[in-house]
Every structure is written in structure tokens, then in C-alpha cells.
């Protein structure tokens, strides 16, 4: 039979050893959870990148009749260059022009844009909409509204990628996935009654 003090020391050492094992096991479990969270985050980011890969290669920007595309644009007609640097076409492409001081927006339905190393220029619009009151400095003496030069307008591009996802890239270049079922702003079938512009 062991003396009582030796049994007490043995019990304390056993508790310390058990507590150390529990602490090591908890630390290992936390490290494993962190690693799994990191792997999950990387997997999610890679999946998002795959979904966005084509959309990230589609851009549009306003062009001016006084710049490179002078031969394609008549004075006073808005225009935008569209480039699809991906490997597949994009569909239901729409250009949304905006001139906020003139309280004016317009939509050009382009349809399909194939892959290309060069930008295509699209001039004009299919439907226009005036909303609100224009800046008084933009109102001509005859009551007509003076629009900004094409290159000063804000241009948003909306398109559907090869996976069927609808995207929007605003004038600042921010790419946003649009909710499923987002309708087109304009199609030839709706020419008589265009959808309200945002």
C-alpha cells in the first residue's frame, strides 16, 4: 500500500498530465478548424473566380466623336466601345448611357458581342428616357436639352455570360452579378413600351 502523500502526488501528476493532453488536443483541434476554414475560403474564392472569369473580361467605355472613333460617330450621337476579351461570346448586351445633369438616360441593345482583341464601337441608342428636371444650365433657349459630349457620359454595360449569368459593369468599372430573372432594359419586341430605366 502506498503512503497517502505519494498517492496524492501521483493523482496530481495524473491530473496535470491529463490536462496537458486535453490542452494539446484542443490546440490541435483549433488549428485543424482554422486550416479547414482556410481551405473552405480558398475553395469558395476559386469557385467565385471561375464564375466571374468571363465577365471580368468584358468592358465598355464612352467614346467621343472628337476622338479616335470620329468616322463612326456623327456629332451629337452617343457611342461606346465594347470589348469582349474572353474566349466566348456574351449575349443580350445592353449599353445604358446616362447624363444626370440633363436628366437623360438611353439604352442601346447590341445583342451578341463575339470575342475580339479589338473593341467594337456602337453608336446611337434604341430608346431614351428623361426623368426629373434637368439642370437649368443644360436647357437651351428653345427648350431643348443640351446633352454632354459622348465621352463625358456615364456608360453601364449589361450582358449575359456563357453560363447564363447576367452581369452589370458600371461607369466606375465595378462588376456586379444581377439577380436571376433580371429583365432586359430594351428589346426590339418592347420598342413601343420600353421598360422603366433605373
In a domain, 127, yes or no: yes
Mean pLDDT taken over the chain: 83
Question: How many domains would you assign to the chain?
Answer: 2
CATH label of the domain that carries residue 133: 2.60.40
d(C-alpha 169, C-alpha 180), whole Å: 16
Are both 10 and 87 inside the same structural domain?
no
Are both 88 and 175 inside the same structural domain?
yes
pTM: 0.67
Contact 80, 62 (CB under 8 A): yes
Are both 62 and 131 inside the same structural domain?
yes
The pLDDT assigned to 72 comes to 47
Are both 95 and 13 inside the same structural domain?
no
The pLDDT assigned to 73 comes to 45
Comparing CA positions, the residue from 185, 17, 21, 167 lying closest to residue 91 is 167
In a domain, 195, yes or no: no
Which residues are 98's β-sheet partners?
105, 154
The pLDDT assigned to 60 comes to 92
d(C-alpha 164, C-alpha 68), whole Å: 33
Are both 38 and 76 inside the same structural domain?
no
In a domain, 196, yes or no: no
| φ, ψ dihedrals at 185, nearest 5° | -75, -30
Helices (H), 53-183: none
The pLDDT assigned to 74 comes to 47
Higher pLDDT, 64 or 61: 61
Are both 38 and 66 inside the same structural domain?
no
Are both 21 and 114 inside the same structural domain?
no
Higher pLDDT, 116 or 78: 116
d(C-alpha 119, C-alpha 152), whole Å: 19
Mean pLDDT for 50-77 is: 69
Task: Assess whether pLDDT exceeds 70 at residue 11.
Answer: yes
Task: Supply the range of the domain harboring residue 116.
Answer: 57-190
Burial 133-155 (b: 16+ CB within 10 A, else e): ebeeebeeeeeeeebbebbebeb
Amino acid at each position: 500500500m502506498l503512503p497517502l502523500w505519494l498517492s496524492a502526488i501521483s493523482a496530481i501528476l495524473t491530473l496535470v498530465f491529463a490536462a496537458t493532453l486535453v490542452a494539446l488536443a484542443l490546440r490541435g483541434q483549433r488549428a485543424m478548424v482554422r486550416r479547414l476554414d482556410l481551405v473552405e475560403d480558398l475553395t469558395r474564392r476559386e469557385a467565385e473566380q471561375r464564375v466571374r472569369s468571363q465577365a471580368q473580361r468584358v468592358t465598355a467605355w464612352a467614346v467621343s466623336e472628337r476622338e479616335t472613333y470620329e468616322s463612326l460617330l456623327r456629332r451629337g450621337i452617343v457611342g461606346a466601345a465594347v470589348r469582349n476579351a474572353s474566349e466566348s461570346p456574351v449575349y443580350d448586351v445592353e449599353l445604358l448611357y446616362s447624363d444626370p445633369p440633363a436628366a437623360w438616360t438611353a439604352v442601346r441593345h447590341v445583342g451578341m458581342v463575339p470575342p475580339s482583341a479589338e473593341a467594337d464601337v456602337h453608336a446611337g441608342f434604341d430608346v431614351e428616357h428623361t426623368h426629373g428636371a434637368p439642370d437649368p444650365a443644360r436647357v437651351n433657349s428653345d427648350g431643348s436639352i443640351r446633352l454632354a459630349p459622348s465621352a463625358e457620359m456615364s456608360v453601364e454595360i449589361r450582358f449575359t455570360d456563357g453560363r447564363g449569368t447576367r452581369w452589370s459593369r458600371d461607369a466606375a468599372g465595378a462588376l456586379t452579378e444581377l439577380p436571376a430573372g433580371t429583365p432586359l432594359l430594351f428589346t426590339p419586341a418592347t420598342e413601343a413600351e420600353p421598360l422603366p430605366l433605373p
